[in-house]
Amino acid sequence: MKRMLASTFALLVLVALVPAANAAQGCTAATLTGNYGFTFSGFFQNQGRNSPISGIGLGTLDGQGNVSATITASFNGNLSTFPYTGTYTVNPDCTGSVTATPGSGLANFSIVIVRGGAEVLGADIDPGNTWTIDFKKQN
């Protein structure tokens, strides 16, 4: 019984320390480096109405806060391919934001980095837009 209690206690301590160790390491802009494929879908504000949007793209993050991408999107059923550039910030808790370069598009995001930077989840934060995006790092 003592051995079982000691093993259980050791396991509980280990489980408690793993998240603390990950939080201590945190994230920086350098967490996001390389090419990421992404998909997005939802609704965007178009002349006062919510219109559907979906698409895919390939983006490159430089580890210093800059992003560039090529996007193919369906805006209310109309297909379009276009470039996107912007900047990103990363907080130590692995949250952050992506801000479009003026003239590059209107998509600005709140993001969460997961799996050590292998994936990034985001939501458009522009008024009237309700769409999400999922970036997955290419190997």
Rounded distance between C-alpha atoms, residue 119 and residue 132, angstroms: 13
Is a pLDDT exceeding 80 seen at residue 5?
no
Q: Is 37 within a domain?
A: yes
Q: Is 77 within a domain?
A: yes
Alpha-carbon distances of 96 from 20, 56, 65, 93, 125, rounded to whole Å: 20, 21, 11, 9, 12
- Residue 116's domain comprises 29-137
- Neighbouring residues of 5: CB distance < 8 A, sequence distance ≥ 6: none
Segment 18-53, tens digit of pLDDT: 344 444 579 999 999 999 999 999 999 888 888 999
Is a pLDDT exceeding 80 seen at residue 81?
yes
Q: Is 60 within a domain?
A: yes
**Mean pLDDT of all residues in 51-76:** 96
Q: Is 106 within a domain?
A: yes
Q: Is 40 within a domain?
A: yes
Backbone angles phi, psi at 66, to 5 degrees: -115, 140
Average per-residue pLDDT for the chain: 85
Alpha-carbon distances of 23 from 47, 64, 84, 136, rounded to whole Å: 43, 21, 31, 21
Identify which has the larger pLDDT, 105 or 34: 34
Q: Is 19 within a domain?
A: no
Segment 115-130, tens digit of pLDDT: 999 999 999 999 989 9
Tokens 């900047």 found at: 87
State the pLDDT at residue 118: 97
Domain count for the chain, please give it. 1
Q: Is 120 within a domain?
A: yes
CATH number at residue 68: 2.40.160.90
